[in-house]
A and B are shown apart, each in its own frame.
Chain A
């Protein structure tokens, strides 16, 4: 049981390049999330998916697209990377499933640098 996995762990891009961050969970959770963490800014929600086939914008969606490929996988795409997208990206999943808990489980993160 690996929990939430993310690939790659590190990436350096040049301005204008594109890339996709991959995320997978093996906990059979319905909901998945993408966050970015910047120094002094906490965790900010980029996009989330409440169930397979649905996605919604979070607090900072500009410059990103997402795909909920199936129940396990949720990818984040940067179509044209900008230096402002230099950050650490975290994927998370959760499933309230009738329990009184909104605990989210996080992956180890992807550290992205855009030059």
Chain B
């Protein structure tokens, strides 16, 4: 049973517009969430995170929103740039637990010039 779901395998947006990547989770024990970005032939790199005590966290062009009641989070990228083209993974964990992360299957973002 998939505990972290990214239902859109791919997303295509125009440069300068907003990219919105979505993630849903089923385990109500999850209280810490992360987004990773992965380029081809490289390892994933950490992008931004949010704890369940917040509903929004911003870092430059990247903002993560958390809706605990809906068990849903989203990553907004504004404005999108061609260099943002990558696979984005959502991950979740239980704070105070084993530090293990549960990953979604990823969404491939393509930003067209």
Q: Which residues of B contact A94 (CB under 8 A)?
A: 99
Interface assignment of A62: CB less than 8 Å from any CB of chain B: no
In the complex, A100 Cα to B32 Cα: how many Å?
Answer: 9
* Residues A106 and B44 in contact, CB atoms below 8 Å apart: yes
In the complex, A66 Cα to B43 Cα: how many Å?
Answer: 20
Interface assignment of A40: CB less than 8 Å from any CB of chain B: yes
For window 18-38 of chain B, which residues contact chain A by CB distance below 8 Å?
32, 34
For window 68-115 of chain A, which residues contact chain B by CB distance below 8 Å?
90, 92, 94, 96, 100-109
In the complex, A66 Cα to B62 Cα: how many Å?
Answer: 36
B→A interface (CB under 8 Å): 6, 9, 32, 34, 41-46, 49, 51, 89, 93, 95, 98-101, 103-106
A→B interface (CB under 8 Å): 4, 31, 33, 40-45, 48, 50, 56, 58, 90, 92, 94, 96, 100-109
Can you list 16 contacts pairing A with B, beta carbon distance less than 8 Å?
A4-B43, A33-B100, A40-B105, A43-B89, A43-B103, A45-B101, A48-B98, A48-B100, A50-B98, A92-B43, A100-B51, A102-B34, A102-B49, A102-B93, A106-B45, A108-B42
